[in-house]
Structure 1
Amino acid sequence: MSSPAATIAWLADPSGPGCWGPPEDLALPISDRGLLLADGVFETLLVEGGRAWLLEEHLDRWQRSAALLALPPPPGVAIVKPLITEASRRSGIGSGIRSGIRSGALRLNWSRGSGRNSGSGAGSRGIAIPNACTPRFWLQLSAIEPCFEPVRVIVSPTEERSATSLLSRCKSFAYGPSIQARRQAQEAGADDALLRSSAGGLCCGTTANLLVRRNSSWITPPLSHGCLPGVMRQRALDRSLLVEQPIQEQDLARCEAAWLINSLGCRPISHLDATPLAGEGTGSSLGGEAETFWRQLLLPRRG
């Protein structure tokens, strides 16, 4: 058993049952397509107070993402839920009973795995999908605290979200554009970057959906612009707290407030480049409103 509050991972060996251990002690074969080609999908969700929040919604998106990319169906709740309970027990993360750490980020990974085509030729190597792949599942639970601190952003000068790509509609392993946009932000002295949409206007942050308040109403770019169908974004839409509408850069410059939201927090945007946003409030007041909004989305809908 690992020490309390230690990051824990579980990897399913296709030839037998899964095994537990620190992430650095578990290994994928170099033939795994998730490793070689980013050919897989994942979900990240909050584990807090002994509970995996919005598990069903995340698993539903995981299943839909896999189907969209013609991956085999990933494990369902009957397999995943006991593994989450065991991960919390082994690590001490999520319940706070032994470690005092009540929050964790759980990442569920599903790779197309490894396979081999029969015969030779182009179909037996490269990016071609083998005739028979054995998918691979692993998870990792790490201690985190949900984040509500204000964030300074730039707009990436080179990276954008495709409005038509299948990859824009799911959480795939292919995070290269977001990595480059985040690197550009850091080099500019900012915390994060916004990505434009190939359809025009702003799309999202590197790892979060964009929300903008204008005329006392919250808006977010439509899915047709290539933004990820975020779980928290959808919760806000379902509760009529948010509407879909294209967002231009000038809308952000003139907005009343802007947030980056995902399943691990909701961060107010304080500056675009070096320019403060026009919205009132700074620091803890911004974060407090964002946290209140975010936490109400975790709770069941009233009525």
Structure 2
Amino acid sequence: MTVWLNGRLVEDAAARIDPADRGFTLGDGLFETIRVKAGAPRHLQRHLDRLAAGAALLRLPLPYDPAALAGAMAALIAAGGIADGVLRLTLSRGTGARGVLPPADASPTVLITLAPAAHMTAPVAAVIARSTRRNEHSPLSRLKSLNYLDSILARQEAAERGADEAMLLNGAGRLAESSVATLFLSVGGRLLTPPVADGALPGIRRALVLERHGAEEAPLTPADLARADEAILTNSLGLRPLVSVDGQPVGTGSAGPVLVRLLDDPEL
């Protein structure tokens, strides 16, 4: 497999990340998962804008401008010959001495990989995670950081409890998101999603649904799942019906008309 690492295409077997890279030792970095359709990255500018905003918050220098990153992705797609796939752009702060304080002269690592698309369409049965919660007070809740341990704990718990996915509550007990996706609930004709202030990641598809389909941000609790007509999970790789939580059906327990409408939108 060919990857793009720090300015050039290399075979994955020859790609090398320094053992002292802070992305590996401390999770000091960010990533973006980008859908590729018809040989082109979808919503690329939105992804790069989010990456830049996260890098600015972490005071992590971006060594390549948007045009260079777009060119790198185009080169990787051409080399990989995958027209329907998934790009992952990983940005770490690079190497540094032991300790938490970042080096003043950081030399970031940028890795871009490409894989065939995994079409995520199957209905989802979820549980509400008991093992961890989303920290809505942390600025990291707004970033695609390399530290995904809360999501990993939640997803392991879901598997142990026989579910496909885990829903994460925040510190106040309100719904934030799933381990890998944004939550939308259709309630009384309104399409609602947890606000960023409640710990929801500002997802790319989430923003498009808010802009294009009249969705609204609103605090949501587990009780709202019981009164919802329909529930949908979205991320950059797809939209899926959330049909049950903790063994109880959501709405009719199947995909509904709102999901059909969203799937019909070519911009999503």
TM over 0.5: yes
The question of 1:8 aligning with 2:2 is answered yes
1:142-221 to 2 correspondences below 5 Å: 142-221=115-194
- The structural deviation recorded for 1:158 is 1.9
Which of the two has higher C-alpha Rg?
A: 1
User: 2:36 maps to what in 1?
Assistant: 47
The corresponding residue for 2:10 is: 20
Displacement of 1:236: 1.4
> In structure 1, what is the equivalent of residue 96 of structure 2?
115
Runs of 4+ in 1 over 4 A off after TM superposition: none
Distance 2:61 2:241 in 1: 38
1:222 Cα deviation after fit: 0.6
Relative to structure 1, is the Cα distance of residues 289 and 242 closer, same or farther in structure 2, using a 3 angstrom cutoff? Answer: closer
Supply the AA of the counterpart residue of 1:9.
V
- Any stretches of 5+ residues in structure 2 without a counterpart? none
Contact 1:107 1:141 in 2 (8 A): yes
Matched, 1:298 2:254: no
* RMSD after superposition: 1.8
| CA distance in 2: counterparts of 1:161 and 1:206, whole angstroms | 10
Query: 1:265 & 1:290 partners in 2: Cα distance?
Result: 11
C-alpha distance in 2 between matches for 1:139 and 1:34: 14
Residues 137-193 of structure 1: per-residue CA shift (max 9 Å, x gap) = 010111014312100100100211111111111100000010010000011110010
- The gaps in structure 1 that reach 5 residues or longer are 1-6, 95-102, 117-124
**TM-score between both structures, scaled by the size of structure 2:** 0.94
Cα separation, 2, equivalents of 1:19 and 1:63: 23
Q: Say whether 1:262 aligns with 2:235.
A: yes
Give the percent of matched residue pairs that are identical in Structure 1 and Structure 2. 35
* Counterpart residue type for residue 68 of structure 1: L
Q: Please tell me whether the aligned partners of residues 228 and 250 of structure 2 are also in contact (alpha carbons under 8 angstroms).
A: yes
Is the partner of 1:251 in helix, strand or coil? helix
Alignment partner, residue 99 of structure 2: 126
Separation in 2 of the partners of 1:294 and 1:76? Answer: 32
Alignment length (residue pairs): 268
Residue 244 of structure 2 contacts residue 250 of structure 2 at CA under 8 Å; is this kept in 1?
Answer: yes
**Cα drift, residue 75 of structure 1:** 2.7
SS at match of 2:265: helix
CA contact (8 A) 2:230 2:258 kept: no
1:90 Cα deviation from its structure 2 partner: 1.6
The superposition leaves residues 209-248 of structure 1 with CA deviations (integer Å, 9 ceiling, x where unpaired) of 1101100111000110111000111111122521000111
TM-score by structure 1 length?
Answer: 0.83
2:203 is aligned, of 223, 227, 230, to 230
Report if aligned partners of 1:8, 1:140 keep a CA contact under 8 Å in 2.
Answer: yes
- The aligned amino acid for 1:59 is L
1:122 aligns to what? Answer: none
Instruction: Say yes or no: does 1:81 pair with 2:70.
Output: yes
Q: Which of the numbers 37, 58, 61 marks the counterpart of 2:50?
A: 61
Counterpart code for 1:296: D
